[in-house]
Amino acid sequence: MTPIERKRPLASKNAAVKARKRQKIAGGDADYRSTPQTSAPAANGSKVRLDDLEWNEVALPDRLDNYEGFFGLEEIDDVEVVRSATDGRVSFKTAERSTAKSTKKRKASEGQQKDSNTREPQPVVDKPSDGEEWEGFSSDDQDQAQEPKVPAKAAPARADKKQKKKKEHKKGAERANGTSEPRNRGSNAFAGLGDEVQEDDVNTSAWDSLELSQATLSSLSRLKFPRPTPIQSAAIPEILDGHDVIGKASTGSGKTLAFGIPILEHYLESKTGRRKASQASEDTHAPLALILSPTRELAHQITAHLTALCSHSSFDGPSIATVTGGLSIQKQQRLLSKADIIIGTPGRLWEVISQGQGLLKRLQKIMFLVVDEADRLLSEGHFKEVEEILNVLDKDDEDIENDDIDSSAEQQQRQTLVFSATFHKGLQQKLAAKGKFGGELMDKRESMEYLLKKLRFREDKPKFIDVNPVEQMAQGLKEGLVECAGTEKDLYLYALLTHYPNTRTLIFTNSISAVRRLLPFLQNLNLPALGLHSQMPQKARLRSVEQFTARPGSILVATDVAARGLDIPGVQLVIHYHLPRAADMYVHRSGRTARAENSGSSILICAPEEVAGVRRLVAKVHARRGGSDSKYFIRSLDIDRRIVSKLKPRATLAKKIADTENAKKQKKSEDNWMREAAEDLGVDYDSEEFEGDAPGRRGRGAGRRKAERVAGAMSKGEVQAMKAELRSLLAQRVNVGVSPRYLTSGAVDVDALLRGERNGEFLGEVGGLGLEDAPVKG
């Protein structure tokens, strides 16, 4: 049903404001009061009056100057307009949910209006959501709440919380032993959680020292996370104590929950207070946290992690809005209006903020700003939109109108949490022409200086937590390189994949065109390959990640859009088809495997001239051990050339078919573009004539273009013939010459390999990457 909209009458606005003020003074909140509502909700589908419907105010753009007597819009969903057949009168039929809530709200509001003169003012637990809500409080209350929440002051609050939590723990234990009265379910958000011990819950006593709420502990138990990871152990208490935190820990070490758990704790603790404030002024519902992510996939993944943390519980989880490009902006705007946690990529977030709709002011009230994969977000080339957002949060933007918020107080409220596996300098330094690497990694002092320069922390010295300063690569990671001629990379890629059948593999390239080229190449060879790059439509991107996650032996060919943060369980092998452009990228790409204490392998495919640079790069990454120069020497894996040569005919054919089809697609889209341009200019377009006449058709790329032209000119029949030939090649046994069964002293069963059966001895012989003895969870 489409939403009904109506103009919000001035009188109703004034009444609403007055009611809110009264409600604030009373400190009450109908939905969260412990006294049960006695009024029965209206029957499902009953008719109600227009004013009894649960109207929601529609946000107007922040920068709308002149309302010209227009006070606002309200809208409502799920309402049926019923016209009486007898007298033509219009009434409204609404679902029980809506009617019940509006009845409850009306009753509450009436009750509060009645009681407002007799009740004692009660302090609101959390900070107010706007200046107006301070009315009715003493100046002491105001001072207390507006005081900067510096750690020294936060500590006593933490001490109180500790007492409270100790009691909660004790009660939880009593309940578990059957020594306490069962809790009154429904009396608060945590009610009954301790009672619901499920068979497959795990013991979470290792989390006890963090003093988390029973609700969070139950969630962790159900997620089967028996103990915190080192970064969680170190960061969570500091964040709960109110500190700004810079957290550095290796890939896959659980950084998401290191900030996610404290945010959830804060949400649960302040839920009643926050809801009180927001109930009083629903149109200014302030989010608790803003989490910035460099990629769309990571943003959606953080959402999934936080949702999983909450969905395993019986409390009402926070409302999470994910704001990324490629998906409906209108839908995201709607979610934003009620969001407790906003997770987004800077570009789309800035777009939404710029469009107004009230988000800007609400964002200024956040309690947590999280910058995930911080070095990437804050690096040149990506920083602009982040900077704009930071300006908005800190109210530096002079364009912002109707400014009635005390920005300094708001800024001091906010905790800034920064996480990454690497902090590096010179992200933009690319591989120099002769295979040199840029992208030096920063030490603690440098990264601190860098972040302090870029971010506005509320503390002079945020807590820098580096749980594994001696090693940023995951413990279970094995590394190796395969050397081959630059022109044979495709062939060696195929050979490598053949030796790791049914292995979830992530292949990294440095360009979108390489993804477009490799994907059909591998698919032609009957390999279950998927693609991921930033020019794919967002839905296709999400689908690729979903399918890669769901299908155990699948292969994902991706650009570095997949390098950061993606947590796909059971990725066993990462192949760097193109070398990473910087040391940090090597760390992040390789970090897609060997996550959460699993094992995995990372293999670079290098041209001979690249080998020395790669060795230096990998040694540099490992040199973080104690700061001394590392002797780490990445092993070379010698793939038997006899096998490679046997695989060559099929690889060559698969490549030719892929290139032909790509060239045809390319030609078609170029033709379409040229034809449209010619039509716009009112001239005739003949592609062949254009090709022949075009000047400057020599020089760089001319050879490739010629090959593309030839490939593109191939007939359908020729392509079909190549496909048939490839099919027959793929169906044949590979005759390896010496012995069709065993190569390299009986270590490799090539037929078994080509049948898709694993043979780990192959690499075991030459370098012992140890994939075979790497059990993979998930």
Ligand X SMILES: Nc1ncnc2c1ncn2[C@@H]1O[C@H](COP(=O)(O)OP(=O)(O)OP(=O)(O)O)[C@@H](O)[C@H]1O
The two structure tokens encoding residue 260: 């996610």
**Contact letters (x/-) for ligand X, 596-635, by CB under 6 A?**
x---------------------------------------
Show the CA angle centred on residue 326, arms to residues 323 and 332, nearest 5°: 35
* Nearest-approach distance from CB 256 to ligand X, in angstroms: 3
Q: Which is nearer to ligand X, 228 or 600 (CB)?
A: 228
* Encoded tokens for 726: 């490839």
Question: Which three-class secondary structure string do you get for 157-201?
Answer: HHHHHHHHHHHHHHHHHHHHHCCCCCCCCCCCCCCCHHHCCCCCC
Footprint on residues 187-226 left by ligand X (CB under 6 A) = 225
Provide the 10 A C-beta neighbour count for residue 299: 25
**Whose Cβ is closer to ligand X: residue 252's or residue 480's?**
252
Q: Residue 695 or 775: which CB sits closer to ligand X? A: 775
Instruction: Specify the amino acid at residue 448.
Output: M
Amino acid sitting at position 357? Q
Least distance CB 596 / ligand X (angstroms): 3
User: Contact 408/134 with Cβ under 8 angstroms?
Assistant: no
Q: List the beta strands (DSSP E) in 488-643.
A: 505-508, 529-532, 555-558, 573-576, 600-606, 635-636
The binding track of 379-408 with respect to ligand X, each residue x by CB under 6 A or -, is ------------------------------
Would you state the structure tokens that stand for residue 586, as one six-digit string? 């090597």
Please give the Cα distance from 396 to 390 (Å, whole number). 9
Instruction: List, as one string, the DSSP characters of 731-761.
Output: HSPP--SS-SSEEGGGTEEHHHHHTT---TH
* Angle made by CA atoms 433, 438, 442, in degrees to the nearest 5: 175
* Binding string, residues 414-453; x marks residues near ligand X by CB under 6 A: -------x--------------------------------
Listing DSSP states for 98-156 in one string gives HHHHHHHHHHHHHHHHHHTTTSPP---SS--SSGGGGTTS-HHHHHHHHS---HHHHHH
From the CB of 595, what's the least distance to ligand X, in Å?
A: 5
Q: Which of 216, 270 has the CB closer to ligand X? A: 216
Cβ distance to ligand X smaller for residue 210 or 734: 210
CB of 252 to ligand X, least distance (A): 5
The residue among 419 and 437 lying less far from ligand X, judged by its C-beta, is 419
Contact set for ligand X, span 133-152 (CB under 6 A)? none
The DSSP result for 476-489, as a single string, is TEEEEEEE--GGGH
Task: Give the integer Cα–Cα distance in Å for 572 and 54.
Answer: 52
C-alpha–C-alpha distance, residues 256 and 244, integer Å: 16
**Strands 245-248 and 415-420: what pairing?**
parallel
Please compute Rg for the chain using Cα positions: 31
Range 521-550, binding ligand X (CB under 6 A): none
Nearer to ligand X, 207 or 521 (CB): 207
Candidates 591, 600, 712, 767: give the one binding ligand X (CB under 6 A): 591
Q: Which amino acid is at 17?
A: V
One-letter amino acid for residue 99 of the chain: T
CB 565 to ligand X: min, Å: 4
Q: Kindly tell me which of 228 and 358 has the beta carbon lying closer to ligand X.
A: 228
Say how far apart CA 120 and CA 28 lie, in whole Å: 10
Among 126, 375, 567, 610, binds ligand X (CB under 6 A): 567
> Footprint of ligand X on residues 652-681 (CB under 6 A)?
none
Q: Which is nearer to ligand X, 229 or 572 (CB)?
A: 229
Pick 168 or 297: Cβ nearer ligand X: 297
For residue 154, the minimal CB distance to ligand X (Å) is 25
Residue 358's CB is within 10 A of a number of other CB atoms, namely: 19
Q: Measured from the CB of residue 618, what is the shortest distance to ligand X in angstroms? A: 18
CB of 370 to ligand X, least distance (A): 11
- CA 197, 199, 203, 207 dihedral sign is negative
Residue 73 neighbours by CB distance under 10 Å:
15
When the beta carbons of 238 and 410 are compared against ligand X, the nearer one is: 238
Nearer to ligand X, 59 or 231 (CB): 231
Cα of first residue to Cα of last residue in the chain, in angstroms, is 41
User: Per this entry, what is the length of the chain?
Assistant: 778
* Smaller CB separation from ligand X, 234 or 352: 234
Closest approach, Cβ 566 to ligand X, in A, equals: 7
Considering the complex, state which of residue 18 and residue 224 has its C-beta at the smaller distance from ligand X.
Answer: 224
In the complex, the smallest distance separating the C-beta of residue 760 from ligand X, rounded to whole angstroms, is 25
Q: Which lies closer to ligand X via its Cβ, residue 242 or residue 254?
A: 254
| CB of 234 vs ligand X, minimal distance in Å | 13
Pick out residues in 239-258 that bind ligand X (CB under 6 A).
Answer: 249, 251-257
Asked if 501 and 757 count as a contact pair (C-beta separation under 8 A), the reply is yes
Question: Shortest Cβ distance from residue 327 to ligand X (Å)?
Answer: 22
Minimum distance, C-beta of residue 771 to ligand X, in the bound complex (Å): 20
Residue 262, interface with ligand X (CB under 6 A)?
Answer: no
Q: Which stretch binds ligand X (CB under 6 A): 143-151, 510-518, 536-544, 590-598?
A: 590-598
Q: What is the DSSP letter of 61?
A: P
**Closest CB to ligand X among 295 and 337?**
295
Contact segment (CB under 6 A) with ligand X among 37-45, 588-596, 605-613, 692-700 equals: 588-596
Cβ 308 to ligand X, closest distance in Å?
7
Beta carbon of residue 283, minimum distance to ligand X (angstroms, whole number): 34
Q: How far is the CB of 183 from ligand X (least distance, A)?
A: 27
Instruction: For residue 234, give the nearest of 272, 261, 267, 195 by alpha carbon.
Output: 261
| Number of chain residues interacting with ligand X (CB under 6 A) | 18
Residue 290 or 477 with smaller CB distance to ligand X: 477
Task: Tell me how far apart the alpha carbons of residues 198 and 201 are, in angstroms, rounded to a whole number.
Answer: 5
Of 523, 603, 614, 617, the closest CA to residue 571 belongs to 603
DSSP state of 705: H
Minimum distance, C-beta of residue 209 to ligand X, in the bound complex (Å): 14
Which residue in the set 204, 232, 505, 509 belongs to the binding site for ligand X (CB under 6 A)?
A: 232
Following DSSP, what letter does each residue of 423-470 receive, concatenated?
Answer: -BS-TTPPPPTTS--B-PBP-HHHHHHHHHHHS--SSSS-EEEES-TT
638: left (phi over 0), alpha (psi -120 to 50) or beta: beta
CB atoms within 10 A of CB 442: 19
Are 507 and 644 spatial neighbours (Cβ–Cβ below 8 Å)? no
Instruction: For residue 595, state whether it binds ligand X (rule: CB under 6 A).
Output: yes
Binder among 344, 531, 565, 712 for ligand X (CB under 6 A): 565
In the complex, the residues that contact ligand X under the rule CB under 6 A are 225, 228-229, 232, 249, 251-257, 421, 565, 567, 591, 595-596
